Amino acid sequence: MNTATHIAIIMDGNGRWAELQGKNRVKGHEVGAQIVKEITTYCSNNKDIQRLTLYAFSTENWKRPKLEVEFLMKLLEQYLKRELPVYLENNVRFEPIGDLKAFSKSLQKTIKDVEEKTAHCDGLVQSLALNYGAQNEMLRAINKLKNTQETITLPMLSDALDCKQDVDILIRTGGDHRLSNFLLWQSAYAELFFTNTLWPDFTIGELESILKKFTKIERRFGGLK
Ligand code: FPP
Residue 207 lies in a domain: yes
pLDDT for 224 beyond 80 = no
Give me the pLDDT at residue 1, please: 81
Q: 152 lies in a domain?
A: no
The answer as to whether 37 is a domain residue is yes
User: What is the mean predicted confidence (pLDDT) over 156-178?
Assistant: 97
Q: Quick one: which atom of ligand 1 is closest to the CA of 68?
A: 18
- Residue 179 included in any domain: yes
Which structural domain range is residue 68 located in? 6-132+165-215
First to last CA, the chain: 13
Domain holding 81: CATH number? 3.40.1180.10
Q: Is 11 touching ligand 1 by the criterion CB < 6 Å?
A: yes
Averaged pLDDT, 72-94: 98
Number of C-beta neighbours around residue 140 at 10 A: 15
List the catalytic residue out of 2, 61, 166, 201: 61
For the chain, what percent of residues have pLDDT higher than 70?
99
For residue 130, what are the β-bridge partners? 57
144 three-state secondary structure:
helix
Residue 136 confidence (pLDDT): 97
- Tell me if residue 61 is catalytic: yes
What average pLDDT is seen over the chain? 96
CB 37 less than 6 A from any atom of ligand 1: no
User: What pLDDT score does 149 carry?
Assistant: 86
Is residue 196 flagged as an active site residue? Answer: no
pLDDT in tens, 29-78: 999 999 999 999 999 999 999 999 999 999 999 999 999 999 999 999 99
In a domain, 139, yes or no: no
| Residue 6 host element (H or E) | strand 6-10
Name 66's Cβ contacts closer than 8 Å, sequence gap at least 6: none
Helices (H), 102-203: 105-117, 134-145, 154-160
Residue 128 lies in a domain: yes
* 80 CB near ligand 1 (under 6 Å): no
Best residue among 9, 10, 12 to mutate for probing ligand 1, ranked by most atoms within 8 Å of CB: 12
C-alpha span between 90 and 162 (Å, rounded): 24
pLDDT more than 90, % of the chain? 94
Determine if ligand 1 sits within 6 Å of the CB of residue 16. Answer: yes
Q: How many domains does the chain have?
A: 1
Residue 93 lies in a domain: yes
pLDDT of residue 221: 79
**Ligand 1 neighbourhood includes 202 CB (under 6 angstroms):** no
Inter-residue long-range contacts of 80-84, CB under 8 Å, 24+ positions, other chains counted: 80/110, 80/111, 80/114, 81/110, 81/114, 83/37, 83/114, 84/113, 84/114, 84/117, 84/118
